[in-house]
């Protein structure tokens, strides 16, 4: 699914984020930037050991929830990896939505800072961190829309959904948003 906000393009695709040819890909990291399973494991496996070496040396303190840090992308087709730390879902009353929105916004800000024309995101927090996918879709896509409307960049934002369920949930929310 593709929609435009002014001259910017927002795409939803089903697939694997590690194969995306974009300027930056976003990793759903943990706050220690320690590497893990899920999309984080897939990104580190595809990028090679340089990624973990760089997060260890540049960000020994890790990264707080709701924030993101940038590294190079090792052997990935992208130029940069933005390691974003989404919230663990604890029922919805612990500022999870605010933290999820902040993690997405920080990545979009990093994209602008690093002159990225294109960026690909996974569905941050919807795996092991347990954020309900329909709620995550709304918070995430609204954050992208608001950023693109305000800043008119990056040119292309792609959300790469791993599986039909997540793709369906994000598409339904995006359809509602543009009606």
Enumerate the active-site residues: 40
The full DSSP string for 65-94 is: TT-EEEEE-TTSSSSEEEEEEPPPPSSS-S
Contact between 125 and ligand ADP per CB under 6 A = yes
d(C-alpha 163, C-alpha 166), whole Å: 6
| The one segment of 57-65, 66-74, 91-99, 161-169 that binds ligand ADP by CB under 6 A | 161-169
d(C-alpha 13, C-alpha 112), whole Å: 22
For 74, the token pair is 């090792």
Contact between 154 and ligand ADP per CB under 6 A = no
Contact between 66 and ligand ADP per CB under 6 A = no
Tell me the per-residue interface mask from 32 to 51 with ligand ADP, x by CB under 6 A, - otherwise. ------xxx-x---------
Contact between 16 and ligand ADP per CB under 6 A = yes
Residue (of 125, 37, 38, 119) closest to 82 by Cα position? 119
Binding site for ligand ADP (CB under 6 A): 16-18, 28, 38-40, 42, 86, 122-129, 160, 162-163, 166
């Amino acid at each position: 699914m593709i929609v435009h906000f002014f001259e910017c393009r927002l795409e939803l695709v089903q697939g694997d984020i590690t194969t995306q040819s974009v300027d930056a890909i976003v990793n759903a990291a943990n706050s220690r930037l320690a590497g893990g399973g899920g999309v984080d494991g897939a990104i580190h496996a595809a990028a090679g050991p340089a990624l973990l070496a760089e997060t260890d040396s540049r960000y020994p303190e890790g990264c707080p929830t709701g924030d993101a840090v940038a590294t190079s992308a090792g052997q990935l087709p992208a130029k940069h990896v933005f390691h974003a730390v989404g919230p663990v879902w604890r029922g919805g009353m612990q500022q999870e939505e605010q933290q999820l929105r902040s993690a997405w916004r920080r990545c979009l800000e990093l994209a602008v800072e690093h002159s990225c024309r294109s960026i690909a995101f996974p569905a941050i927090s919807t795996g092991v961190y347990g954020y309900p996918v329909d709620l995550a879709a709304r918070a995430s896509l609204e954050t992208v829309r608001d950023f693109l409307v305000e800043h008119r960049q990056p040119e292309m934002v792609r959300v790469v959904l791993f599986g039909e369920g997540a793709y369906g949930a994000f598409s339904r929310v995006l359809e509602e948003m543009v009606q």
